[in-house]
Every structure is written in structure tokens, then in C-alpha cells.
Amino acid sequence: MQKADQVLSYSGAPRCPPATARAIGAGLSASTPPPQPHYCARAGYPLQSLARVAVLSVVAATSLAQSITPVPFAQTLLTDRFWAPRLATHATTTLPICIDQTEVKTGRIRNFEKAAAGLGQHEGMYYDDSDVYKVLEGMAYSLINNPNPALEKKCDEWIDKIVAAQQEDGYLNTYYTLTNPAGRWADMEKHEDYCAGHLIEAAIAYYQATGKRVLLDAAIRLADHLTLQVGPGKKNWVPGHQEIELALIKLYRITHQDKYLSLAYWLLEQRGNGFGKGMIWSNPAFGAAYCQDDVPARHLANISGHAVRAMYQYSAMADVQSLRTYAGYTEPLQRVWHDVVDRNMYITGGIGSSRQNEGFTADYDLPNATAYCETCASIGMVFWNHRMFLGSGESKYIDVLERSLYNGSLAGVSLSGDRFFYVNPLESGGTHHRKEWFDTACCPSNVSRLLPALGDYLYAQREDEVWVNLFIGNETKLQVGKTQVVVVQKTDYPWNGTVRLNVRPDQTLPLTLHLRIPGWNKQRELLINGQPTPALKNEYGYITLTRTWQAGDQLELLLDMPVEVVSADHRVKANVGKRAIQRGPLVYCLEEADNPGVNFNTIRLSPRNKWTVREQADLLNQVTVLQTGGLTFVPYYAWDNRAPGNMKVWIDWNE
């Protein structure tokens, strides 16, 4: 977990002494001094020199670049009782709500109709086109695993309206078309490129779902238009809100047109060189740092500014590095990753403590009740950490992805699928609640495109190697050379740590499996066809298992999943003298609905507390609760789904 909100570290090899790490990970005090720079946060265990660590990391990343690829979610059918119901709720409730808000209750679709006709006033915010595209992307992802003629027809109706609003030169943005046609590409903060990026991503998703090219062709025309406006020898340009870079890279991967990758790289290289100075940022008081325009990409070391914008930039940098290994982004990405995870991340995987700039202030400034932790920022952490894994093969990135997914991201939507959090505090007096929608609706639409694409994060592959990253019941099909392999995963994760994998190649096959060992796990056992295995090599947080497989082979991974009492870094002032509770990947909280009549200001925990783990089939869609001393803790993602009341993650502690 994170050094900022917990005394744990994601530093690379060598790892801390296991016994000490276990003690600190359990929230017990250590006899070692507080962590100092260049020391492991768990025990003050000295690392190799930074120079050597950097060299080793660069070699590892370079050797894996362009080689590890995600197994597409279209090849994976989710079957478990934790995620499958959520995906069903997304399809039956969340997606229809997003569609209704987009075309009926707000003017987002009407803006395209007006732009096509050249008549009328623009409704809403200047970036509202992006919400249409994100919802459309979620609709496309849903179609891949859940074919639905009515939903596809709705997509086609939207696409016709979108394409009709595109101008002859390829430009497409309803705000400028309706309010200031002469002002195109004059204000870097006005999200023209941000909206264009989400259009490109939606177009690619819909093309992959249906094979239909209408929106993809429109996206290509828009991208080509952009390449004529900005770039070497043209207009200098620094996107106010990063996103176009990610989209251009996706467009490069599907069209193989180098100009899109080159433009994405050029846009990243523009940052920190003064090209954005004098432009009208939406929050000029924060200066260039607000939009990550204060430091060149290759010099990055510290997180700053708006959290979501930063996540999208770092994701794009990781993508570029995987395609152009000379980009020079490996070391800066590792530096800023440690700054985020070690000093600026909440225990929930949320980031961005300040409402004022929707982002970062000073290191270790992690208030609880006023935590911002935008849902989109947690989703951005999923995007970025997945790409960091693909470029390195290290499980620490999947650890953070999982933390952000199960806690910070999943809390963003109610269990009923019809209410949303924009802000995710870690403490509430009973006044913070999910809402039906927002004027700035990036979070509902972002959740709507994350959930149906969840399968992307389960497995990854490189030739005859397969990485098992997330433990979710599923059936997936892989192609290894000329051999098809069906992998069936059965598990009740995150409620317990038993994971069963059936490997079914259609013929005997040599194959290497990399089984992730989560950072929170201290003890585990692995059985192959019912037989315990001897000590296995653990590389980058994975058990590496190379053998010849045949149909019916079964792995059983037994992960010990105790209740953990976790302490924060002493520099997090908000959590001095407090502890948080987690079990497996889930962070827990106290909620008044389970603890009526309890004074939340006087609750105390101590080492003397004994914990009971109890499954409650009738509570919050069947959760496992933790109980101690008359208190009941529920998973953080599930809070605010019942009557209003107090909530706390960090609890006062008595030694």
C-alpha cells in the first residue's frame, strides 16, 4: 500500500525484511526510526543506490516494451458473484440513466442537432460533448459482451447526429460551432482537443463492437484536421485537459498511421516549455502547474495540479514509451509514480486532496472529511497503473490498480446503479451523498465506460507467457501460437483468497503462467492438481510457473486474508493517532447505519480488539462485514447506500 496513508512501500527490489514488513503491515509499532529518504518505508531498510535502481528499471521496462499486451475483455466472460451483478446493473440501470440524461434531461444531444442545423444556442458547459462520447463508448463496450439491437440502434441514432454536426474541414465541436466559429483553436483550455479525444475513443470502441465505420471515419477526419492545425512548424499547442494524446495513440494502433503517434508525442513534449503561458486556464491562480505545464515531461518528479489531467498525461506517456522506447519517459514516470503512491495517495487509492484545484497541494496533505478524491481520478489511476504494468511486468502497479478499482472507483456508483459520487471523502457527518447527475458529468460517464471494459485488466500475454492479474470469476480464451487455451477462474474474491484456475489447452502445451501475489498478502499456498508445490520463484510480485499443460490441469492459489489494522505515515497529520481497517483489497469503514447510537467522535480501537469476519447475505448486496467490540465495519465502496449518517475510515487508536 502507500507510504502516505499507510506505512508500506511499493519500492522495487530488494524488499524489506518479511517479518518487519508483516508487523508494520498489521499496524503494529516498529522499533525502527521513521522512514527517511531513499529508505524502505516499512523498516528503514536501505535500497540500492538510486542510480542502480533506475538502471535496472530502465532495462526491465525496455525489455518488456511492446511485448506484454492485455487480453481483450471481449475474450473474457465474467461469472463471479461480486462483479457480474454489477455489470448487469450497469447494463440495466446505469447505462440507461446515462442515455436519458444525455438526450432527454440535458441538452447534450440537442447541441449536435443545433450544430448540424446551424441554429440555436449551446446548452450546458463547453466540454459537454465529451460526456456524449464517453457514454457512447460505454454503450459500445456493453454491446461487445451483451449484444442488444435496441442499444445498437440508439448508438446509430446518436452517431448520425454527431456526424451531421461535423464541418467540411473535419472540425467537430458544438460549443464553438454554436457560439464562436471564428474562435476555433485559440484557447488551449477550452477542451476542444479533450472532446476530440473522447470522440476518437468512442469511435474506435464502436468500430470494434460492430464493425461500423461511420463514426470512426468522422474521428479520422477530425484527427487529420487537428494535425493540420498544430504540430511542428504549425501552432504551438498545450492541451488544457489531457486526453487527446491517449486517443491519438489508440488511433495509431488501429490505423497504423504514424502521424497520430507522432502528434501525441509532440503534444507531450510541448509541456513545460512556456508555450501555454498567457493562455486563459480555467483556474489561472494556479498557473501552469494546474494543467501540468510547468515542467517538461522528461523532468517530471512530483505530482502537481489537477489530478485527472495528470493521470491522463501519465497514461499517454506510458503508451508512448511502449511504442517509442527512446522517448525517455521511463524514469520520470517512475519518479512521479512514487511521488503519487508514496506521498499523495489515500488508502482507498483515491488521489487529489483539494477541492480548490481538484488535485494536489503539499506532500502528505491528506485530510479525510474534506478529501476530494474525484471518481475520475481513481479511474485514471486504473488506466495509468495498467499501462505501467504493461511496460514493466511488475505487480506493484496492479496492486495500486486493484486498490483504486475496488475502493476509489467502485464507490463512485451506488449499488443500485442510479446514483453517483463526484467527490469521495473518507469521513462524513451524514451530509455527503451520491447524486442523480452533475452539471459536469465526467464521473458518471467515466464509470459507465470503465465497468463494461473491466475484463481488460484480468490477464495479459506475451507469446507463451500469461499474467494473471486480477482475481475475478471468469472464462477467457487465449491464443498461444496455434493452440487455443481456455482458462476458467473460480473465486469468491474479494471475500476470501481462494482462487482456482483450470487451464484447458486444446492440445498439450508448454506455457508460463505468472500468478500475481498481492502486496497485502503475507502467506499463501499453491497447489497444482491438488498437490502442494515447493517454493516457487517470485519475480516482480508474481509466482512464475513454467510447465507443460494439458486439458484439465488445475491450479489452486490460497491467499491468507486476515484483517489488517493499518497505520498512516507519521507525516499525514490528519491520521496521527488513528488506524484504518482493511481485508484483502477492500478498505473498510464505520457507518452509522450499522452502529446506531454510537458517538463517532469517541470511538477508539486498540491492539486488544478481536476481529470477527462475517458474511451477511442480506446486507448491501451480500457483503462480508468485520466486527469488533460491538462495532460493525462495512466495505468503503458500499457506504451511503442506506439512511444518511456518519461515516469514518480512520479511527482513533489507543495503544
Residue 35: predicted pLDDT: 28
- Residue ranges of the alpha helices (H) in 434-493? 442-450
Tell me if 636 is assigned to some domain.
Answer: yes
- The C-alpha R_g of the chain, in whole angstroms, comes to 24
Whether 539 sits among the annotated catalytic residues: the reply is: no
Q: Are residue 493 and residue 628 in the same domain, yes or no?
A: no
Residue 282: predicted pLDDT: 59
pLDDT surpassing 50 at residue 612: yes
The residue out of 457, 473, 500 marking a domain boundary is 457
Report CA dihedral (558, 561, 562, 565) to the nearest 10 degrees.
Answer: 150
In angstroms, rounded to a whole number, what is the distance separating the alpha carbons of residues 40 and 37? 8
Q: Are residue 290 and residue 233 in the same domain, yes or no?
A: yes
C-beta separation of 246 from 201 below 8 A: yes
Computed over every residue of the chain, the mean pLDDT equals 89
- The share of the chain scoring above pLDDT 70, in percent, equals 88
pLDDT band at 281 (very low <50, low <70, confident <90, very high): low
> What mean pLDDT comes out for the span 220-234?
97
pLDDT band at 278 (very low <50, low <70, confident <90, very high): low
**Position of cell 487527446?**
244
Residue 539: predicted pLDDT: 83
pLDDT surpassing 80 at residue 1: no
Tell me if 57 is assigned to some domain.
Answer: no
In angstroms, rounded to a whole number, what is the distance separating the alpha carbons of residues 294 and 305? 10
> What mean pLDDT comes out for the span 385-410?
97
Residue 538: predicted pLDDT: 80
> In the structure grid, which three cell numbers stand for residue 309, read together?
489531467
pLDDT surpassing 60 at residue 41: no
Q: Are residue 500 and residue 646 in the same domain, yes or no?
A: no
pLDDT surpassing 50 at residue 353: yes
Please work out, in degrees rounded to the nearest 5, the angle formed at the alpha carbon of residue 277 by the alpha carbons of 274 and 280.
Answer: 150
Q: Are residue 232 and residue 273 in the same domain, yes or no?
A: yes
Tell me if 330 is assigned to some domain.
Answer: yes
Domain housing 24: 1-48
- pLDDT digits over 85-100, tens only? 999 999 999 999 999 9
Q: Which of 98, 442, 443, 589 is catalytic?
A: 442
Number of domains present in the structure of the chain? 4
- The share of the chain scoring above pLDDT 90, in percent, equals 84
Q: Are residue 76 and residue 153 in the same domain, yes or no?
A: yes
Q: Are residue 117 and residue 250 in the same domain, yes or no?
A: yes
Tell me if 253 is assigned to some domain.
Answer: yes
DSSP string, 568-601: PPTT-GGGTTEEEEEETTEEEEEETTTSTT--TT
Residue 287: predicted pLDDT: 82
Whether 442 sits among the annotated catalytic residues: the reply is: yes
- Residue ranges of the alpha helices (H) in 506-650? none
Residue 158: predicted pLDDT: 98
pLDDT surpassing 60 at residue 627: yes
In angstroms, rounded to a whole number, what is the distance separating the alpha carbons of residues 129 and 112? 8
Residue 285: predicted pLDDT: 67
> What mean pLDDT comes out for the span 109-131?
97
Tell me if 231 is assigned to some domain.
Answer: yes
pLDDT surpassing 60 at residue 362: yes
Q: Are residue 25 and residue 158 in the same domain, yes or no?
A: no
Q: Are residue 27 and residue 148 in the same domain, yes or no?
A: no
> What mean pLDDT comes out for the span 215-231?
98
Tell me if 256 is assigned to some domain.
Answer: yes
The residue out of 389, 423, 457 marking a domain boundary is 457
> What mean pLDDT comes out for the span 493-512?
96
- pLDDT digits over 629-648, tens only? 999 999 999 999 999 999 99
In angstroms, rounded to a whole number, what is the distance separating the alpha carbons of residues 567 and 422? 27
pLDDT surpassing 80 at residue 161: yes
pLDDT surpassing 80 at residue 83: yes
Residues in the chain, total:
655
Residue 371: predicted pLDDT: 97
Residue 286: predicted pLDDT: 76
Residue 67: predicted pLDDT: 81
pLDDT surpassing 50 at residue 22: no
Tell me if 62 is assigned to some domain.
Answer: no
State the first-to-last Cα distance of the chain, in angstroms, to the nearest integer: 23
Q: Are residue 449 and residue 495 in the same domain, yes or no?
A: no
The residue out of 414, 438, 457 marking a domain boundary is 457
User: Could you tell me which residue, 461 or 37, shows the higher pLDDT?
Assistant: 461
pLDDT surpassing 80 at residue 536: no
pLDDT surpassing 90 at residue 54: no
C-beta separation of 184 from 170 below 8 A: no
Q: Are residue 510 and residue 569 in the same domain, yes or no?
A: no
pTM of the model: 0.90
Least confidently predicted of 20-34, 76-90, 311-325, 475-489: 20-34
Q: Which of 103, 152, 358, 591 is catalytic?
A: 358
Q: Are residue 452 and residue 464 in the same domain, yes or no?
A: no
> What mean pLDDT comes out for the span 257-281?
88
Q: Are residue 575 and residue 553 in the same domain, yes or no?
A: no
- Under the phi-then-psi rule, with left for phi > 0, alpha for psi from -120 to 50, and beta for the rest, what region is 597? left
Tell me if 59 is assigned to some domain.
Answer: no
In angstroms, rounded to a whole number, what is the distance separating the alpha carbons of residues 538 and 14? 12
Please work out, in degrees rounded to the nearest 5, the angle formed at the alpha carbon of residue 195 by the alpha carbons of 191 and 196.
Answer: 115
